[in-house]
């Protein structure tokens, strides 16, 4: 996205909700600037008229009146300054919140594929780095830019009104300032990029080494690690120092060119006044000098903000870039509803009955209901994570309600891929998948996924209590139901032994629990959802075999009466499946029960006997 | 705390002082300009002396140029000083972390250590530079300007005596009031980022349970809190500008009124009045700058505390004063060992461990999750110290060895193992920097890694990504074993290091150990019975105690736990491995 596009969108977000506020802010800024500038006129009048007059007449009442008027103007200015500063807080914080919330909402709606291609760190930095630069921009740069621009504009007008000749001098110096700061910022920008690269390099090294700190200790590799650190640290120091030197010079240059301009204006103004040229008077010089101060300060401020603004625009560009990613498409219209049998017919009902039905509206306006039973059928399915390479080829399979289907095969054979297609994390390239006879493309994704319980290979727990985490499976579950689910998964025992039991807070992905305990909670989470179809992807891989034997009993209870897809590399988990599918390079090469496959003396038999041999 | 951090300035003391010195000199020049301007106006313009105007004018231009030079020099030195300070401090903290022992590492999360080395150092550097340059500038500017104003006209300058302290207190008051809001806001911001992070990591869980709406609600809730807290802080800061304007305007009006009176009384000139206006701006603006520096210092204070915490942390394990540097042999003995991670006798995770292992023996260790298998073996290379009792290696207490010598003789492959970014060969040479290519290959052949490494197009020069994510789990484990073997250790400990390796390769590794390094003592922790079945002796751990020790046959006969594990695994089948 180009710069103008980004600015336009930022403006659109701002004016979208805060049009009235922004107009008021603009008005207040104008009043506040006017008050500031009026001060210069006041000084001119004071010196040219009022003080000499007071000296002549000996009466200070005129002077007092002028000061009183000025005080009123100043007061109005102060009030307006306060008001616009206060209003900008709401606007800038509100805009940031809007952007943040939209960003998150949009991220939630992106397809899994997006998260495959982009690293977490990459997406995270939209929320951290890019958002931070926007925060800086909105709370620091923007208010300063607005008031600086307003000041420059008004002051220019007034200076022109006072004396075009002296204004010319001010402009010459301003151009010199701009040229100097531009030159500086061009070299600084290059150095900054190098500095950023050095920062990234060093921080990456620090993160990697700190995470591997224990390995470093075991190998007594501290000196080597320090040597590597020193090298990167020195690089950062060099670039940081150089870039920083440039930015440090900016202020003295701007300030002192301002000082020079002050002197030049006074001297030239004085010469003009002496020769009576250009209507320059002593009071006018005085007024002009304060004005020119008011003029050079915002120029300095703007040049100091250039970097921040560039960075903020780049950040906003990246944020908008993510918001422009196409969200997960969902053209499904079949929904999942609670049902009840009335005279042998399925009818929709509001309360939870344990009986579910697919509500299928047809184009002629009629609605049919199909019972949710857990019948899954793949018909000649092809699928690839990328266009060039198919991960699955000609996969056909069917699972009758209540059957247990096991997938066996090497890493990358396509086991997890198949389960990812059932819940439509990905869409298939060719073929059909039917769920209770309905093409899954017609089912609303949220409803489809609600009907499936999934325990994933990588367990993930959220910050919150253990009960919260189990209840994630079904938000309305009572404490008893949570407890019962944990019992099914054999998690109840260890949970109750924790000091806070079910109210134990988990943070950083349940880091305080062992891998096995985390998996048990994930299983309980699926159990509380109580879905007709379960997908267990290496659900028990981190549980030691003794515990697993206990979990297995719970799992058997969990699988009872459901359609289950299970991926496991432990034979005990696979053996009693109704159908075992052996996958190799995206194809089903063998299928059948354990005894069938053993008798067939194929790949399964090899895997089975090879390990015991 | 400050003294501790100040130690990191070291060789940059000169630049630090020069930076402050030059900025003070810049200030002197800047303040002199309005002072002489008064003369320019009074003696030049009012008196109509053109020569005087030109002479003084060019002199003042020279002042501006000198001031610019001083300012630039100050900026130059400030940059050198602060970046130097940052580099030193960063190194000091990193070196402190390198000296940490395992218990120290456990005390700090790795994320918090990274923050200390990045964000906190940044805050400190900025504060440092703000102090040596901006604070010096502002303070001296306000002081000089005040002095000049007093010199110009003491009675009129008294105005500052009233207004400046009021403004100063006001600004600091605002900063102190606003700061807690920002601190809390930033904490809430961390919470917000945590939600994002969790949603990224758990995106499949969120989608699988169709919980997008709930997550949005959760996010929206915290996002609103961030909004409230930042707004509350910003609303307080919004008083800054009006307050400064109010003070400036008040000064201008008061000075005008008093000044007019003085001019009328003949005690002051018009030019002097104008200088007073200039001083007003300089004093008040610098008070504002000072309040910004003040806020920066407040922010840096908590960073300084966090940095100092690392610097103060004492490594909990040290080599003794007169250490043994030779490990005689690979024998290991546990004598009445109690161990607690928190060094608390009531929270023992290993109790009453007695075990003697002869050099060259192969010991298998089995036990459920949390039975302290890892705790037991970690005591051998002295990753932790025992709480009671003693661990002996080669006949001597591990606490009597030089740590580096001990760990050179005891190679441990950690459960949570890590490869570093770099080539495979570079990673392997962690075990022995001088290893020849032939030695690398030999170790890899032992660990059954040579074959797959040679299968990569670039062989041993294959680049490993950070965390070793571009090799499979089983490959990573084998590389870690090879890396440990390159130490040529007297004792080799594998802590569940072949869990992702298939059974057959696992067996080949153990066979190679038996044949090629028979003299090395081997301790193997495993989940799989088959990984330990053929060991000389097997230790069964249960609930933090050594439950039983014996050969496979003995345990199968006499030990219930072992029998149960064996039956569920071997008779019920085993693993399908890849």
pLDDT for residue B576 is more than 80? no
Subunit contact A257:B68, Cβ cutoff 8 A:
yes
At residue B89, φ and ψ (nearest 5 deg) are -65, -40
- B332-416+491-571: CATH topology is Rossmann fold (3.40.50)
Question: Could you tell me if A77 and B245 are in contact, meaning their C-beta atoms sit under 8 angstroms apart?
Answer: yes
Distance CA B111, CA B161 (A): 49
pLDDT at position A518 is 82
Give the residue from B327, B259, B268 showing the smallest Cα distance to B491.
B327
Residue B151: exposed, middle, or buried by beta-carbon count in 10 A (0-12, 13-18, 19+)?
Answer: exposed
Neighbour count for residue A91 (Cβ, 10 Å): 20
- Express each pLDDT in B96-110 by its tens digit: 999 999 888 888 877
**Is the pLDDT reported for residue B577 higher than 50?**
no
Question: Closest by alpha carbon to A545, among B371, B545, B547?
Answer: B371
Q: Three-state SS string across B406-455, please?
A: HHHHEEEECCCCCCCCEEHHHHHCCCCCCCCHHHHHHHHHHCCCHHHHHH
Does the beta carbon of B349 lie under 8 angstroms from any beta carbon of chain A? Answer: no
Placement of tokens 């922790």 in the chain = B525
Q: Which residue has the higher pLDDT, A311 or B306?
A: B306
Listed ranges A223-237, B159-173, B199-213; the one with the highest mean pLDDT: A223-237
CB contact under 8 A, A612 and B67: no
The minimum CA-CA distance between B294 and chain A, rounded to whole Å, is: 17
Burial of A222 (C-beta count, 10 Å sphere; 0-12/13-18/19+):
middle
Residue of A97, A548, A568 lying closest to B227 (CB–CB):
A97
Two structure tokens written together for A247: 């930015």
What is the C-alpha separation between B462 and B482, in angstroms, rounded? 16
- B242/A85 CB distance under 8 A: yes
Q: What pLDDT sits at residue A610?
A: 53
**CB within 8 Å of B217: residues ≥ 6 apart:** none
More confident residue, A120 or B66: B66
- The architecture in CATH of the region B1-153+302-316 reads Up-down Bundle (1.20)
DSSP string, A47-103: IIIIHHHHHHH---HHHHHHHHHHHHHHHHHHHHHHHHHHHHHHHHHHHHHHHHHHH
Measure Cα distances from B395 to A218, A310, B150, B383 in Å: 21, 66, 82, 18
- Write down the mean pLDDT value for chain A: 83
pLDDT bucket at A612, cuts 50 / 70 / 90: very low
SS3 breakdown of chain A: % helix, strand, coil, rounded to 5?
Answer: 65, 15, 20
Tokens representing A455 are 């325990």
Q: Residue A161: its pLDDT value, please?
A: 86
- By mean pLDDT, which of A568-572, B309-313, B384-388 is the weakest? A568-572
Q: Which residue of B has its CA nearest to A546?
A: B565
pLDDT over 60 (residue A284):
yes
Q: What is the dihedral of CA A300, A302, A307, A311, to 10 degrees?
A: 160
Q: How many CB atoms lie within 10 A of CB B400?
A: 15
Of residues A127, A248, A461, nearest to B76 (C-beta)? A248
A464-465 and A505-506 strand pairing = antiparallel
Complex ipTM value? 0.86
Inter-chain residue contact B91 with A108, CB threshold 8 Å: no
Instruction: State the maximum Cα–Cα separation within chain B, in Å, rounded to a whole number.
Output: 119
Task: Give the residue among A104, A209, A427 at the shortest CA–CA distance from B98.
Answer: A209
Q: Is A472 in contact with B205 (Cβ distance < 8 A)?
A: yes
- C-alpha A576/C-alpha A594 separation (Å) is 7
Q: Is the pLDDT of residue B493 over 60?
A: yes
pLDDT at A547: 67
More confident residue, A258 or A613: A258
SS3 category, B355: strand
Buried b (16+ CB within 10 A) or exposed e, B19-37: bbebbbbbbbbbbbbbbbb
Lowest mean pLDDT among A231-245, A256-270, A389-403, B501-515: A389-403
pLDDT of residue B397: 95
Contact B550, B559 (CB under 8 A): yes
Least confident of A579-583, B66-70, B99-103, B491-495: A579-583
Note the pLDDT tens digit of each residue in A177-187.
Answer: 888 888 887 88
Nearest to B174 by CA among B246, B118, B126, B109: B246
CB contact under 8 A, B407 and A270: no
Token digits of residue A62: 């005129």
Q: Which of A274, A289, A571 sits opposite B274 (nearest CB)?
A: A289
The pLDDT assigned to A82 comes to: 93
Q: What is the tens place of the pLDDT at every residue in A57-96?
A: 877 788 888 889 989 999 999 999 999 989 988 888 898 8
Contact flag B41-A270 (C-beta cutoff 8 Å) = yes
What does the pLDDT average to over A403-425?
Answer: 81
B509, B481 contact by CB (below 8 A): yes
- Neighboring chain A residues of B76 at a CB cutoff of 8 Å: 245, 248-249
pLDDT class of B574 with cuts at 50, 70, 90: low
For residue A136, the cross-strand partners are: none
- Which comes out higher in pLDDT, residue B271 or B494? B494
Contacts of B368 in chain A (CB under 8 A): 544, 546-547
Q: Are the Cβ atoms of B91 and A47 closer than 8 angstroms?
A: no
pTM score, whole prediction: 0.79
Mean pLDDT of the B128-140 span: 92
Domain boundaries, chain B: 1-153+302-316, 158-267, 332-416+491-571
Cα A562-A566-A569 angle, rounded to 5 deg: 150
d(CA A188, CA A510): 45
| Structure token digits, residue B340 | 């607690």
pLDDT value, residue A184: 83
Closest CA to B474 of B366, B363, B577: B577
The pLDDT of residue B578: 39
- CA–CA separation, A394 and A245 (whole Å): 64
DSSP A451: T
Lowest mean pLDDT among A220-229, A279-288, B394-403: A279-288
Closest CA to A215 of B467, B321, B574: B467
Share of chain B above pLDDT 90, in %: 44
Has residue A191 got a pLDDT over 60?
A: yes
User: What does the pLDDT average to over A387-394?
Assistant: 79
Q: Say what the pLDDT of residue B482 is.
A: 95
Give me the phi and psi of B459, to 5 degrees please. Answer: 50, -125
What value does the mean pLDDT of chain B take?
88
pLDDT level of residue A490 (50, 70, 90 thresholds): confident
| Chain B hits for A425, Cβ within 8 Å | 204, 207
Q: Which one of B9, B260, B349 would you mutate to disrupt binding with A, by most A Cβ within 10 Å of its Cβ?
A: B260
Two tokens at A563? 């359609």
- Each residue of A8-45: pLDDT tens digit? 988 888 888 899 998 998 899 889 888 888 877 787 77
Q: What is the CA radius of gyration of chain B?
A: 36
Q: Chains A, B: CB contacts under 8 A, how many? A: 420
Q: What is the pLDDT of residue B12?
A: 95
Residue of B nearest to A118 (CA): B200
CA A485-A554-A461 angle, to 5 degrees, is 50
């Amino acid at each position: 996205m180009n710069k103008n596009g980004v600015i336009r969108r930022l403006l659109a977000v701002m004016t979208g909700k805060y049009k009235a506020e922004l107009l008021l802010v603009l008005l207040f800024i104008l009043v506040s600037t006017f008050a500031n500038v009026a001060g210069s006129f006041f000084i001119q009048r004071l010196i040219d008229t009022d003080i000499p007059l007071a000296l002549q007449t000996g009466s200070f009442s005129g002077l007092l009146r002028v000061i009183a008027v000025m005080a009123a103007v100043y007061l109005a200015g102060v009030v307006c300054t306060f008001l616009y500063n206060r209003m900008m807080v709401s606007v800038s914080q509100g805009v940031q919140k809007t952007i943040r919330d939209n960003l998150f909402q949009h991220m939630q709606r992106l397809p899994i594929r997006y998260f495959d291609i982009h690293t977490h760190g990459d997406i995270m930095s939209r929320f951290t780095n890019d958002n931070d630069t926007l925060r800086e921009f909105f709370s620091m740069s923007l208010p300063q830019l607005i008031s600086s621009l307003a000041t420059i504009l008004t002051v220019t007008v007034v200076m022109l009104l006072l004396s075009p000749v002296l204004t010319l001098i001010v402009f010459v110096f301003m151009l010199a300032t701009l040229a100097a700061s531009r030159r500086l910022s061009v070299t600084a920008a290059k150095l900054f990029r190098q500095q950023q690269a050095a920062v990234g390099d060093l921080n990456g090294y620090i993160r990697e080494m700190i995470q591997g700190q224990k390995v470093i200790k075991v190998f007594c590799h501290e000196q080597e690690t320090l040597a590597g650190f020193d090298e990167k640290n020195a690089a950062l120091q060099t670039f940081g120092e150089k870039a920083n030197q440039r930015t440090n010079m900016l202020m003295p240059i701007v300030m002192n060119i301002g000082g020079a301009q002050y002197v030049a204006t006074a001297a030239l103004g004085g010469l003009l006044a002496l020769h009576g040229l250009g209507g320059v008077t002593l009071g006018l010089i005085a007024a002009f000098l304060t004005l020119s101060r008011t003029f050079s300060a915002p120029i300095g401020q703007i040049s100091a903000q250039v970097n921040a603004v560039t960075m903020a625009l780049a950040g906003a560009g990246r944020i908008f870039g993510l918001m422009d990613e196409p969200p997960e498409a969902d053209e499904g219209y079949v929904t999942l509803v609670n049902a009840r049998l009335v005279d042998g017919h399925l009818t929709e009902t509001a309360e939870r009955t344990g009986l579910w039905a697919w509500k299928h509206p047809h184009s002629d306006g009629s609605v049919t209901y199909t019972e949710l039973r857990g019948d899954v059928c793949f018909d000649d399915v092809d699928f690839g994570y990328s266009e060039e390479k198919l991960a699955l080829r000609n996969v056909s399979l069917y699972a009758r309600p209540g059957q247990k289907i096991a997938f066996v095969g090497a890493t990358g054979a396509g086991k997890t891929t198949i389960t990812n297609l059932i819940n439509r994390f990905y869409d298939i390239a060719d073929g059909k998948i039917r769920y209770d006879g309905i093409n899954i493309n017609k089912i609303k994704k949220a409803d489809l996924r609600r009907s499936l319980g999934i325990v994933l290979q990588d367990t993930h727990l959220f910050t919150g209590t253990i009960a919260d985490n189990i209840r994630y499976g079904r938000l309305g579950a009572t404490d008893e139901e949570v407890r019962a689910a944990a019992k099914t998964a054999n998690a109840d025992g260890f949970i109750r032994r924790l000091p806070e039991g079910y109210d134990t807070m988990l943070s950083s992905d349940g880091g305080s629990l062992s891998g096995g305990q985390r998996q048990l909670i994930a299983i309980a989470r699926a159990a509380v959802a109580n879905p007709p179809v379960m997908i267990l992807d290496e659900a028990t891989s981190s549980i030691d075999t003794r515990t697993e034997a206990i979990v297995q009993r719970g799992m058997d209870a969990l699988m009872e009466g459901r359609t289950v897809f299970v991926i496991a590399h432990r034979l005990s988990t696979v053996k009693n499946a109704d159908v075992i599918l052996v996958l190799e390079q995206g194809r089903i090469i063998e299928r059948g029960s354990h005894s069938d496959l053993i008798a067939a003396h194929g790949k399964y038999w090899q895997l089975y006997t090879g390990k015991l041999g | 705390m400050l003294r501790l951090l100040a130690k990191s300035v070291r060789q940059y003391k000169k630049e630090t002082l020069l930076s402050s010195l030059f900025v003070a000199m810049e200030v002197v020049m800047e303040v002199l300009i309005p002072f002489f301007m008064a003369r320019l106006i009074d003696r030049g313009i009012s008196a109509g002396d053109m020569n005087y105007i030109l002479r003084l004018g060019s002199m003042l231009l020279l002042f501006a140029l000198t001031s610019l030079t001083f300012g630039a020099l100050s900026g130059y030195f400030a940059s050198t000083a602060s970046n130097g300070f940052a580099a030193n401090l960063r190194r000091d903290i990193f070196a402190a972390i390198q000296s940490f022992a395992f218990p120290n590492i456990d005390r700090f999360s790795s994320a918090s250590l990274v923050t200390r080395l990045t964000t906190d150092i940044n805050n400190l550097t900025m504060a440092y530079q703000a102090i040596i340059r901006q604070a010096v500038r502002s303070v001296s500017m306000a002081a000089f300007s005040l002095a000049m104003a007093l010199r110009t006209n003491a009675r009129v300058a008294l105005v500052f005596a009233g207004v400046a302290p009021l403004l100063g207190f006001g600004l600091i008051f605002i900063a102190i009031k606003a700061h807690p809001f920002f601190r809390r806001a930033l904490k809430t911001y961390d919470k917000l980022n945590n939600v994002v992070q969790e949603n990224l990591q758990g995106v499949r869980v969120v989608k699988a349970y169709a919980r997008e709406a709930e997550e949005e609600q959760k996010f929206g809730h915290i996002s609103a809190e961030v909004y409230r807290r930042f707004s509350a802080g910003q609303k307080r800061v919004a008083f800054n500008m009006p307050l400064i304007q109010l003070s400036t305007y008040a000064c201008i009006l008061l000075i005008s009124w008093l000044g007019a009176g003085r001019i009328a009384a003949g005690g002051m000139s018009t030019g002097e009045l104008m200088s007073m206006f200039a001083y007003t701006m300089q004093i008040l603006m610098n008070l504002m700058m000072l309040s910004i520096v003040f806020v920066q210092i407040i922010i840096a204070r908590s960073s300084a505390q966090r940095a100092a915490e690392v610097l103060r942390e004492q490594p909990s394990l040290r080599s003794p004063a007169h250490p043994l540097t030779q490990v005689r042999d690979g024998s290991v003995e546990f004598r009445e060992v109690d161990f607690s991670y928190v060094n608390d006798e009531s929270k023992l995770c290993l109790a009453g461990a007695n075990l003697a292992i002869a050099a060259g023996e192969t010991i298998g260790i089995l036990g459920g999750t949390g039975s302290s298998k890892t705790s037991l073996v970690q005591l051998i290379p002295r990753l932790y110290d025992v709480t009671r009792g003693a661990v002996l290696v080669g006949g001597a207490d591990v606490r009597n060895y030089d740590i580096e010598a001990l760990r050179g003789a005891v190679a441990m492959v950690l459960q949570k193992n890590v490869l570093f970014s770099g080539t495979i060969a570079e990673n392997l040479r962690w075990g022995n920097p001088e290893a020849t290519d032939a030695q690398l290959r030999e170790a890899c052949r032992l660990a059954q890694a040579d074959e797959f490494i040679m299968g990569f197009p670039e062989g041993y020069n294959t680049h490993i990504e950070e965390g070793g994510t571009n090799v499979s789990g089983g490959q990573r484990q084998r590389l870690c074993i090879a890396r440990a073997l390159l130490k040529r250790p007297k004792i080799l400990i594998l802590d569940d290091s072949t869990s992702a390796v298939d059974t057959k390769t696992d067996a080949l590794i153990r066979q190679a150990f038996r044949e090629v390094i028979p003299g090395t003592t081997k301790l193997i922790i495993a989940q799989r019975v088959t990984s330990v079945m053929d060991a000389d002796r097997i230790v069964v751990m249960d609930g933090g105690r050594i439950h039983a020790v014996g050969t496979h046959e003995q345990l199968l006969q006499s030990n219930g736990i072992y029998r149960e594990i064996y039956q569920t695994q071997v008779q019920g089948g085993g693993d399908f491995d890849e």
